[in-house]
Amino acid sequence: MDTAALPSLTAWLDGVDHLGELLPLLPVLVSLELLLSADNAIALAAIARKQSDPALERQALNLGVLMAFVLRVALILMAQWVLAFPPIQLLAGGYLLWLCYQHWRPTDLDDNSKTSLDSSSTVSFRRTVVTLAVTDLAFSIDSVAAAVAISDQLFLVITGALIGVVALRFTSGLFIQWLKIYSRLESAGYLAVAFVGFKLLIQLVFPMIDVPELLTLSVVALLMVWGFSIRLPLIAEET
């Protein structure tokens, strides 16, 4: 989720149409993006940390977030078409639910199979980068309607997208470290992913239903509190 997903914030920004008016709001926007991108950031961190190498994790995040920015801009430019093509929202919601399922599905592979799958590091790295970008794109679908609402202010919309991906890169890097410390955090992130996926599908099937902003924020906040509720004892002792 990002600031564009909240209609009240969109209305607040709607009157901003000059760089001079936007600059004083940048600290507020950055702070909001850091808070609201927590669910997306945990998902991206969980995907990136599968590289099991800090250098590759950082590289995957950098490339994935850069690709995500390009995809966000493309999504903004094609927003009218996206809104008129419901299957895209269906694909986004279904993908997020599938991502959540992949996290909890039982693994039937034996150790030899896992070793053979992990042996191709190049393919794994490329797949990680693409998965990062696609996952962020699926989250961004939730903000398309808001982007269209201020589409006459293209500079503002793209600036918001840039702020969003920069904040996402920063928070994802933090969450990679926190995932090693808090045992529930990854599960909390994937539950937030499932919530966003269900929200997209509900809005598609029942367009008359308007999911309250307060409910969305409350669910994500409660999941974050639960995710940070248990700290791994071994890590706690080392720090």
What domain count does the chain have? Answer: 1
Give the C-alpha separation, 199 to 157, whole Å. 23
Over the chain, what is the mean pLDDT?
74
The residue segments making up the domain with residue 227 are: 3-238
CB 137 within 8 A of CB 196: no
Q: List, in sequence order, every beta strand (DSSP E) within the chain.
A: none
Does 25 score more than 70 pLDDT?
no
Q: Find the helix or strand (DSSP H, E) in which 186 lies.
A: helix 185-205
What is the C-alpha to C-alpha distance for residues 179 and 165, in angstroms, rounded to an integer? 20
Give pLDDT, residue 226. 92
38-96 pLDDT tens trace: 778 888 888 888 887 888 888 989 998 889 888 888 877 777 676 667 788 888 889 98
Residue 182 β-bridge partners: 231
Both tokens assigned to 119: 């042996």
Average pLDDT, integer, range 119-148: 73
CA 136 to chain CA centroid, Å, is: 5
